Chains A and B, each alone.
Chain A
Amino acid sequence: MTLWLALLLAILAALSLLIGDATLALPDGLIFWQLRVPRMLLGLLVGGGLGLSGAVLQGALRNPLADPGLLGITGTAGLGAVIAFYWGLGVAFPPALLVGGLLGAGVGSAFLLGFAGRAPSGPSLILAGVAVSAIAAALLALALTMAPNPFALAEITFWLMGGLADRPLWQVALAAPAILLGGAILVSLGRGLDALSLGEETARSLGVPVARTLRLAAVGTAFAAGAGAAVAGSIGFVGLVVPHLLRPWFGERPGALLPAAPLAGAALLLAADMLVRIAPLVLPLSAAPPVGVLTALLGAPFLVAVARRGAP
């Protein structure tokens, strides 16, 4: 099954290289390498990071609604990136954008997993995440209003809804190691997440270092989802939806989802990105909508369905 996913992903990646703004053709060298390839790579990395973080967060928090966006981690990452970018820190030191995003994600992650330690998993955790998300979005809007460049405030849709377009290759190259590092950390947590299915104390009695597992989940998510948000804005719902799409095929054991989650996340995001690029051909739109619009439109009903299924 994982192999089929990998094949699907390869096909989507290839298709993604063929679609430009409102054209379907193989473009010349410059457009291909400077625009299409970075976009496709970014989709792979960001989607993979989001899918994997979602799977790990759901396992670590034992909550089927956990998602790096819903829990505010991509929001705080965006805030960190905005502060670094709009005040020109990235001009002298290009990785500043990424560092800002990682710091922001780290703060959000640490707060959330600290909170999860005190309160049992369940609605209270999601509420805490929603609060973090709301605060991050408000501070983001404030930061953009105060930013020295007059175009800043209008760019809030990018940061809140995400976008893979026109990101230069060097930014993708900057984010890649961070996302891959986060992914490597997250993938190693399978055993711990399986044990956590039975509760934190039972997991400890099985010899799993629970506190360390949760901390690594936080760090891994901060890298994998945070680095992506620093470059591509806050793309929501991918992390929420991916584990649910995979469970019918891979079973509900959290560790079983981990190898497939990044593949599914990447495929989902690439597919969404292609759809938004094709949208202006079919609908009366002047430009392609941000990709986060599509993931939200598909993901939010999903969220409602899952929440209702879980309710007594």
Chain B
Amino acid sequence: MRPKRAAVWVACVCVAQFVFGAADAAEHVISLNLCTDQMLVLLAPEKIAALSPLSRDPSLSFVAPQAEQLPVVRASAEAVLRLHPDLIIAAPYGAQTTLALLQQEHVPVLRIALAQDFAGIRQMTRLLASTLGVPQRGETLLIAMDALLEALPHPGHGVRALVWEPRGLTAGPGTLMDAVLHAAGMTNASDGSRIGLEALLRHPPELLVVPTAAAYPSLATSLLDHPALASLPRRAIPPALTICAGPFSAAAAAMLAR
């Protein structure tokens, strides 16, 4: 999806789902999704009633250290209700039954579509910041992000890079990592399809972008270390920066541009 359309969609989805008036900001907010967890911690940690358990996983979450000090809750309606939240933030998909139950109990639910590019990140940050009653903090984060992006080099001819994830998944046009590659001044060699090891070697990119090595192996993650790839230049990025979009995504671009 192209940036403009994505931004419009984010707005429509939120307007359609938003039940709470902007005047009275929420005080006990629960996030049920890793990506919204991270935004919540960055914007308004004092308003957090609970986060999802994944927020504490350092291999997945950018805010894992902070999340250690914060309560977590599993996405069951009962557990969530017991905390008496006045706002639930979640992704557009997942936990359908739980959220339906919560809406039945008249708990406000905000479904945020996950951003896929920097324009989307700006939209999402501003929307969340205003919902939570902390618009200034949102702006602060975005100013920092934009400063980082400005500082990155913008060469005329970009390095042909490919984001290669376990099981041969690649980041095609319109995805978050595609935006990160462009922000780092590179071109994306992927068209979004999965490619196996042999196909990768037949048309190798100039740079291979892979997630950093997992603490424990699996066949999928150790494939990234196959000897056949030894000659390809590579950059490793922590998965925490590639899974969810947020102001921190600029850090991913900065790591690549270095």
Touching chains A and B, CB distance < 8 Å: yes
Q: Which residues of A contact B (CB under 8 A)?
A: 20-21, 23, 27, 30-31, 34-35, 85-88, 90-91, 147-152, 154-155, 158, 165-166, 168-170, 286-287
B226: Cβ under 8 A from any A Cβ: yes
- Number of contacts between A and B (CB, 8 Å)? 69
Contact A147–B216 (Cβ < 8 Å): yes
A-B contact pairs, 11 of them (CB 8 A): A30-B201, A31-B201, A35-B197, A147-B216, A148-B215, A149-B214, A149-B218, A149-B221, A151-B218, A287-B194, A287-B196
Chain B residues in the interface with A (C-beta under 8 A): 166-167, 194, 196-199, 201-202, 214-221, 223, 226-228, 231
Q: What is the bound-complex CA distance between A152 and B219, given in angstroms?
A: 8
B198 surroundings in chain A (CB, below 8 A): 20-21, 27, 31, 35
Q: Is the CB of B227 within 8 A of A34?
A: yes
Q: Is A86 a contact partner of B197 (Cβ separation < 8 A)?
A: no
Residues of chain A contacted by B194 (CB below 8 angstroms): 286-287
Contact A30 B231 (CB under 8 A): yes
Rounded to whole angstroms, the CA-CA distance of A91 and B226 in the bound complex is 14
Give bound CA distance, A154 to B202, whole Å: 27
When the two chains form their complex, are residues B217 and A85 in contact, meaning their CB atoms are under 8 A apart?
A: yes
Closest Cβ neighbor of B225 among chain A residues? A168
Judging by beta carbons under 8 Å apart, are B227 and A155 in contact?
no
Distance of A187 Cα from B221 Cα, bound (Å): 38
Determine whether the beta carbon of B221 is less than 8 Å from that of A151.
yes
B228 partner residues in chain A, CB cutoff 8 A: 30-31, 34-35, 168
Does A152 contact B227, Cβ atoms closer than 8 Å? no
Bound form: Cα–Cα A87–B215 in Å: 10
A85 and B226 CA atoms in complex are apart in Å by 15
Residue numbers in B under 8 Å from A286 (CB-CB): 194
Min C-beta distance of A24 to chain B, whole Å: 12
- Asked whether B219 lies within 8 Å of A151 as measured between CB atoms, the reply is yes
Looking at the assembled complex, report how far the CB atom of B225 sits from the nearest CB atom of chain A, in whole angstroms: 9
Contact between chains at A147 and B218 (CB < 8 Å): yes
Q: Is the CB of B226 within 8 A of A86?
A: no
Give the distance in Å from the alpha carbon of A151 to the alpha carbon of B231 in the complex: 26
CA of A35 to CA of B229, assembled, Å:
11
A139 to B192 Cα, complex, angstroms? 36
- Secondary structure at the B interface, as helix, strand, loop or mixed, is helix
Kindly provide the distance from the CB of B172 to the nearest chain A CB, expressed in whole angstroms: 15
**Interface pair B227/A170, CB less than 8 Å apart:** yes
| Cα separation A35 to B199 with both chains bound (whole Å) | 11
Closest A residue to B223 by CB, please name it.
Answer: A166
CB-contact partner of A151 in B197, B199, B220, B227, under 8 A? B220
- List of B residues within 8 angstroms of A154 by Cβ: 220
On chain B, the residues within 8 Å of A287 by CB distance are 194, 196
Do the beta carbons of B218 and A27 come within 8 Å of each other? no
Minimum CB–CB distance from A170 to chain B (whole Å) comes to: 7
Which residues of the partner chain A approach B201 to less than 8 Å between Cβ atoms? 30-31, 34-35
Q: B217 touches which one: A20, A91, A169 (CB < 8 A)? A: A91
Which residue in chain B gives the minimum CB-CB distance to A169? B227
- Least distance between A21 CB and chain B CB atoms (Å): 5
Residues from chain A with a CB closer than 8 A to the CB of B197 are 35, 165-166
Is the beta-carbon distance between B217 and A168 smaller than 8 angstroms? no
Complex: A27 Cα to B200 Cα, angstroms = 13
> Are A27 and B202 in contact, with the CB atoms below 8 A?
yes
Which residues of A are found within 8 Å of B226, using beta-carbon distances? 34, 166, 168
- Find B216's partner among A20, A87, A166 (CB 8 Å cutoff): A87
Query: Which chain B residue shows the least CB distance to A20?
Result: B198
Write out the residue numbers on chain A whose beta carbons fall within 8 Å of the beta carbon of B223. 166
Residue of A nearest to B204 (CB): A30
Q: A149-B214, A166-B196 are in contact. List 11 more A-B contacts (CB 8 A).
A: A21-B196, A27-B198, A86-B218, A88-B215, A147-B216, A149-B215, A149-B216, A151-B167, A151-B220, A152-B218, A287-B196
Q: Is the CB of B231 within 8 A of A155?
A: no
**Contact B217 A155, beta carbon cutoff 8 Å:** no
> In the docked arrangement, what's the CA distance between A151 and B167, Å?
9
Q: How far is the CA of A31 from the CA of B217 in the complex (A)?
A: 24
Please state if B218 and A168 are interface contacts (CB–CB under 8 Å).
Answer: no
Minimum CB distance partner of A277 in chain B: B198
B residues near A149, Cβ cutoff 8 Å: 214-218, 221
Q: How far is the CA of A165 from the CA of B216 in the complex (A)?
A: 21
User: Given the complex of chains A and B, what is the CA–CA distance between A151 and B217 in angstroms?
Assistant: 9
Q: How far is the CA of A85 from the CA of B217 in the complex (A)?
A: 7
| Cross-chain contact B216 with A88 (CB below 8 angstroms) | yes
Residues of B within 8 A of A85 (CB): 217
CA distance A234 to B163 in the complex (A): 31
A88 to B220, alpha carbons, bound, how many Å?
A: 14
> With A and B bound together, what is the CA distance between A168 and B227 in angstroms?
7
The residue in chain A whose Cβ has the minimal distance to the Cβ of B228 is A34
Residue of A35, A90, A155 touching B220 (CB-CB under 8 A)? A155
Q: Is B166 within 8 A of A151, CB to CB?
A: yes
Measured CB to CB, the closest approach of chain B to A36, in angstroms, equals 8
Shortest Cβ distance from residue B220 to the other chain A in the assembled complex, whole angstroms: 4
8 smallest A-B Cβ distances: which pairs?
A34-B228, A148-B216, A149-B218, A151-B218, A151-B220, A149-B216, A21-B196, A20-B198
Contact partners of A165 in chain B: CB under 8 A? 196-197
Q: How far is the CB of B249 from chain A (nearest CB, A)?
A: 22
Shortest distance between the CB of A119 and any CB in chain B (Å): 37
